Structure 1
Amino acid sequence: MPLEKPTEWHSTRVCDVKVSSHGDWWHVHWGAIFSAYGRTPFFEYYADDLMPAFSGDIDSLVELDAAIDRFCRNALGINPREVTLDDATSTLPQMRDVEYYQIWASRYGFTPGLSVLDLIFNMGPEAPLVLKAMQP
């Protein structure tokens, strides 16, 4: 996604980084998501909730990240206050590889470590159970 070039990179805060309206990046990104997940069992169920993040109406990188984060947390039933990092040095625990249904697994085998969107679109309401099984 294209970002607007700030006048000074070294002093620009992340919250001040703007998403460029140049080009049709949101359409391209949505097309890539549709291409990857459009045939998954739960894409149609969740697509309308995720699509606004790729509508071109979002002005800043922080807003875009927040919109995608909200979608994922809502789809997984995660309260925003449940999962937080205490400080910048905190790290998330290493997750276990747990196989779940993937639409292309019969052709390519199970692929671990894909995005949370893969889990949500393939498993739907069962995604939180799979995510819980991944926890150490």
Structure 2
Amino acid sequence: MIEKGALLPMFYLPPVEYFTQLNKYKPDVWIERDEHFPKQTYRNRANIYSPDGQLALVVPVVKGSKVHTPTKDVKISYDFNWQRMHWMSLQACYRRSAYFEYYEADFAPFYEQKTTHLFDYNQQLLELLLRLLKIKTTLNYTNEYQARYPESVVDLRHAMSAKKDVTIEQKPYFQVFEERNGFLKNLSIVDLLFNQGPQAVNYL
């Protein structure tokens, strides 16, 4: 049973706010592994900045049976080549950013290898992102589902929604296409990383 710290879901290329919270509560950060997989959330989607504004990258998942599937058991679907589409989108959107080429080789393998489970894929990406951001912390994982936690635990499992408007305060940083659509808040952490590079951790 978790007694203190913060409980976060496992997201795909999580938004900036996720890392702000993770940085705030480390080392007492727990990742939810056992919840039932909710649809249309950052668990399998990330928002990046395209020439036309915000673009959602969605990792397709295998259609589950009628029984709710725990997040750790959700499988990635490879019925179409979404990896190629995501990688081409990242290249098209960030090729002009200051640091994309610097990090390109770190991310490229994730769009070639085929990982069976979404949780494992997101976990490997999260570990890479923590390393690139130079955030030193050990992540703890739940081993059973709890609907409620004591007040000493900050439950952030439903705090960040891909469907709600962004309300967090966020200081603008340079974005590649901001002259077209202005500053877009709370995009995927890769937007901050590719634009700010080693300075990203100071921004958080």
Q: 1:22 to 1:82 in 2, by over 3 A?
A: closer
Q: 1:22 to 1:98 in 2, by over 3 A?
A: same
TM-score, normalisation: structure 2? 0.55
1:33 is aligned to 2:98: no
Alignment match of 2:155 (pick from 81, 90, 96) = 90
Residue of structure 1 in register with 2:109 after alignment: 52
| Structure with the larger helix share | 1
Residue of structure 2 in register with 1:130 after alignment: 203
Structure 2 unmatched runs, 5+: 1-58, 143-148, 160-166
Residue of structure 2 in register with 1:23 after alignment: 80
Sequence identity percentage? 28
Q: 1:116 to 1:52 in 2, by over 3 A?
A: same
Residue of structure 2 in register with 1:112 after alignment: 185
Greater relative contact order (Cα < 8 A, sep 6+): 2
Whether the 8 Å contact between 1:42 and 1:124 is mirrored in structure 2 is: yes
TM-score, normalisation: structure 1? 0.78
- How far residue 2 of structure 1 moved from its aligned partner, in angstroms, is 2.3
Structure 1 unmatched runs, 5+: 132-136
| Structure with the larger strand share | 2
Q: Deviations over 1:80-131 (max 9, x none)?
A: 427999x686127x85411212222344332222221110000001111111
Partner Cα distance (1:16, 1:5) in 2: 12
1:42 is aligned to 2:99: yes
Partner Cα distance (1:127, 1:27) in 2: 26
For 2:138, the aligned partner's letter is: R
Q: 1:84 to 1:14 in 2, by over 3 A?
A: closer
Q: 1:112 to 1:2 in 2, by over 3 A?
A: closer
1:100 is aligned to 2:173: yes
- Point out 4+ residue stretches in structure 1 off by more than 6 angstroms: 82-85
Higher mean C-alpha displacement, 105-114 vs 42-51: 105-114
Whether the 8 Å contact between 1:26 and 1:56 is mirrored in structure 2 is: no
For 1:108, the aligned partner's letter is: N
1:64 is aligned to 2:83: no
Query: What's the RMSD between the two structures over aligned residues?
Result: 2.8
Q: 1:23 to 1:82 in 2, by over 3 A?
A: closer
Whether the 8 Å contact between 1:41 and 1:121 is mirrored in structure 2 is: yes
1:121 is aligned to 2:194: yes
Partner Cα distance (1:58, 1:96) in 2: 35
Partner Cα distance (1:71, 1:62) in 2: 14
Aligned residues: 129
